[in-house]
């Protein structure tokens, strides 16, 4: 390999880690809710969109970015908890199909609200100039936004690991994910633990939204749809309901997408999506339950 | 006044009557067995007492309060807990995390740490394995962990569902010795078991269930000397 291709390879690897990290955060949010409630929350993407619009309006109001970012994340957490309280609690003990349809309904209602109350068009989000700059390391350039995305992903993964292993609530969440009725026997309150799971998933969606918007500088009503679809694929790839699996699946999907875009011959570029999904299918044929399956797959929920 | 007073308890699953109006009492300090063949409603009775399945009729009174509508997660704070059938330890959590969940509702850190010490004293094998994932324990160790986890809530009444299920005979003996030790410690226990002979050697009193109803009851000696238990098993199904 010549020097140029090694640099290109490193550059694309940074891109892959950055994109994969965002997918990993989103897939983790889906996995946390799924492991506890047995529900795939397709409205997870709308939490991202809500965060995106918070950044947009903060920009309009002249709120500094350093304030609007935590605000956008906080809004996603509150929105996630409200979603659970209003839409998902009433169907908590229903069949998985009912819960899935409910989450689709929430997603579509929110998308329609964004389109009618805000705009169907994409809105520009003001970003600090520093995000568009690059840092040179030797001969290769890394975008500040990419570095921040990687840093934020690492911090979130460390935080989540600490929270789930070192706090009583985190341990209770893991217990509830494994065996909900027995967790209740221990005195773990179902409402509190489910609400907490949604708050965590909102936190992850909010951080992912900030990273997503930092790369694109815009927000539109369907902003969350594609990344969450990707995160869903990532969580299946990693093993549905498994948290480590979600992280592994997110990164793997990020690598597949970026490397295909970068290294696939010109003539095949228009087929990169089907080729990427083909690789996903091959991985699933090899490991039908995903890379790192959840321990308690198929156990009773709530 | 009995510690646990169940009157006319009904449990239904759809159209199926699993428990049909049973009466059952446990006095403070007693070790009482609920015996019967597989599928006669013993576990349903315990699950209804603890609120994991709804009480379809009748009343469950614990410490003279009606608890038949109290949610499961609040009962443990009142001193009532269940060690479920099949152990159901949290396999992906460490031994210590499992124990910590037993004390989830307790806020007094000093009292909780003395409970840990008591559990590690009662079950030395858990001490060696405290950082190990619970799923890597043997069946007998998992049963000990399940009981220890329940005891971490310092219950006034422990409901024990089939602790000997699926264990090797010498492990079963260890578990029964342990139940005897717990009773000697002053813990009130309602024990559900299929192993009639070993249970009757240990308990103060017993109830025999057949087809969702209680068909015999009495002291352990009465049940042993009569053929009521055998009849229940043979006549039941």
What ipTM describes this predicted complex? Answer: 0.91
SS3 A219: strand
pLDDT digits (tens, 9 = 90+) for A23-69: 999 999 999 999 999 999 999 999 999 999 999 999 999 999 999 99
- Asked if the model's pLDDT at residue B169 lies above 60, the reply is yes
- Asked if the model's pLDDT at residue A299 lies above 60, the reply is no
DSSP tag of B21: E
Residues in chain A: 302
Exposure class string for A223-250: b at 16+ Cβ within 10 A, else e: bbbebbebbbbbbbbbbbbbbebbbbbb
Q: How confident is the model at residue A4 (pLDDT cuts 50, 70, 90)?
A: low
Nearest residue, CB atoms, A184 vs list B73, B90, B135: B73
Q: How confident is the model at residue B237 (pLDDT cuts 50, 70, 90)?
A: very low
Report chain A residues whose CB lies below 8 A from the CB of B81: 185
Nearest residue, CB atoms, B104 vs list A181, A186, A190: A186
**Cα torsion for A234, A236, A240, A244, to the nearest 10°?**
-40
Report chain B residues whose CB lies below 8 A from the CB of A295: 91-92, 135
Q: What is the pLDDT of residue B1?
A: 86
Touching check for B72 and chain A: CB below 8 Å? yes
- How many other CB atoms sit within 10 Å of the CB of residue A130? 10
Q: How confident is the model at residue B235 (pLDDT cuts 50, 70, 90)?
A: low
CA of B52: which chain A residue's CA is closest?
A181
- Asked if the model's pLDDT at residue A130 lies above 70, the reply is yes
Task: Give the Cα separation of B219 and B206 in Å (integer).
Answer: 6
Query: In this complex, do B104 and A179 lie within 8 Å of one another by their Cβ atoms?
Result: no
SS3 A282: helix
Query: In this complex, do B72 and A184 lie within 8 Å of one another by their Cβ atoms?
Result: yes
Query: In this complex, do A185 and B50 lie within 8 Å of one another by their Cβ atoms?
Result: yes
Distance of alpha carbon B120 from the chain centroid: 20
Task: Give the Cα separation of A272 and A103 in Å (integer).
Answer: 29
User: Does residue A275 contact residue A264 with C-beta atoms inside 8 Å?
Assistant: yes
Query: In this complex, do B72 and A189 lie within 8 Å of one another by their Cβ atoms?
Result: no
Q: What is the pLDDT of residue A44?
A: 97
Touching check for A92 and chain B: CB below 8 Å? no
pLDDT digits (tens, 9 = 90+) for A264-277: 998 999 999 999 99
Q: Using the structure block, give the residue that is written with the tokens 């329940």.
A: B150
User: Could you say which residues from 153 to 182 on chain A have a Cβ atom under 8 Å away from some Cβ of chain B?
Assistant: 168, 171-172, 174-175, 178-179, 181-182
Q: What is the pLDDT of residue A295?
A: 67
Task: Give the Cα separation of B143 and B157 in Å (integer).
Answer: 18
Pairing of strands B188-193, B157-161: parallel
What mean pLDDT is reported for chain A?
92
SS3 A146: helix
Percentage of chain A lying above the pLDDT 70 cut:
96
State the first-to-last Cα distance of chain A, in angstroms, to the nearest integer.
55
Distance of alpha carbon B180 from the chain centroid: 13
Task: Give the Cα separation of A196 and B87 in Å (integer).
Answer: 27
Query: In this complex, do A186 and B93 lie within 8 Å of one another by their Cβ atoms?
Result: no
Higher-confidence residue: B30 or A295?
B30
Q: What pTM was estimated for this model as a whole?
A: 0.89
| Three-class SS of B148-197 | HHHHCCCCCEEEEECCCCCCCHHHHHHHHHHHHHHHHCCCEEEEEECCHH
Q: Which residues pair with B31 in a beta bridge?
A: B189
Query: In this complex, do B74 and A185 lie within 8 Å of one another by their Cβ atoms?
Result: no
- Size of the A and B interface in Cβ pairs below 8 Å: 66
- Asked if the model's pLDDT at residue A137 lies above 90, the reply is no
């Amino acid at each position: 390999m010549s020097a140029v291709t090694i640099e290109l390879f490193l550059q694309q690897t940074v891109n892959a880690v950055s994109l994969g990290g965002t997918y990993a955060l989103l897939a983790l949010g889906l996995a946390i809710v799924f492991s506890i409630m047995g529900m795939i929350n397709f409205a997870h993407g709308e939490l991202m969109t809500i965060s995106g619009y918070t950044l947009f309006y903060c920009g309009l109001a002249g709120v500094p970015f350093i304030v609007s970012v935590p605000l956008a994340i906080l809004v996603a957490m509150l929105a996630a908890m409200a979603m659970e309280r209003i839409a998902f609690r009433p169907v908590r003990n229903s069949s998985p199909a009912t819960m899935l349809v409910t989450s689709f309904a929430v997603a579509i209602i929110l998308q329609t609200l964004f389109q009618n109350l805000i705009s169907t068009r994409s809105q520009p989000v003001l970003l600090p100039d520093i995000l568009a700059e690059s840092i040179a390391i030797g001969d290769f350039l890394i975008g500040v936004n990419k570095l921040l995305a990687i840093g934020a992903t690492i911090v979130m993964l460390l935080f989540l690991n600490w929270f789930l292993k070192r706090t009583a609530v985190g341990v209770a969440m893991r217990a509830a994910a494994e065996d909900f009725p027995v967790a209740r026997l221990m005195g773990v309150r179902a409402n509190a633990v489910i609400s907490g799971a949604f708050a965590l998933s909102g936190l992850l969606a909010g951080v992912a939204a900030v990273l997503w918007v930092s790369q694109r500088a815009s927000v539109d009503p369907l902003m969350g749809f594609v990344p969450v679809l990707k995160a869903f694929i990532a969580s299946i790839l990693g093993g549905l309901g498994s948290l480590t699996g979600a992280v592994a699946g997110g990164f793997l999907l990020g690598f597949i997408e970026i490397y295909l875009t970068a290294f696939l011959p010109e003539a095949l570029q228009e087929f990169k999506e089907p080729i990427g999904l083909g690789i996903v299918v091959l991985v699933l044929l090899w490991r039908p339950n995903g890379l790192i399956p959840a321990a308690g797959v198929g156990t009773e929920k709530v | 006044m009995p510690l646990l007073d169940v009157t006319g308890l009904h449990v239904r699953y759809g159209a199926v009557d699993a428990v049909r109006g049973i009466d059952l009492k446990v006095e403070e300090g007693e070790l009482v067995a609920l015996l019967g063949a597989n599928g006669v409603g013993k576990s349903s009775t315990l699950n209804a007492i603890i609120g994991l399945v709804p009480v379809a009729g009748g009343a469950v009174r614990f410490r003279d309060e009606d608890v038949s509508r109290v949610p499961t997660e609040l009962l443990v704070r009142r001193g009532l807990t269940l060690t479920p059938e099949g152990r159901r330890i949290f396999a992906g959590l460490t031994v210590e995390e499992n124990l910590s969940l037993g004390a989830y509702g307790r806020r007094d850190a000093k009292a909780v740490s003395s409970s840990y010490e008591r559990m590690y004293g009662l079950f030395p094998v858990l001490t060696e394995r405290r950082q190990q994932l619970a799923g890597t324990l043997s069946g007998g160790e998992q049963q000990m962990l399940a009981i220890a986890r329940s005891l971490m809530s310092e219950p006034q009444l422990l409901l024990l569902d089939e602790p000997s299920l699926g264990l090797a005979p010498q492990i079963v003996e260890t578990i029964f010795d342990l139940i005897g030790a717990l009773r000697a410690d002053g813990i009130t226990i309602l024990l559900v078991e299929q192993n009639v002979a070993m249970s009757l050697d240990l308990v103060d009193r017993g109830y025999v269930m057949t087809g969702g109803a209680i068909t015999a009851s009495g002291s352990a000696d009465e049940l042993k000397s009569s053929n009521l238990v055998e009849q229940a098993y043979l006549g039941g199904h």
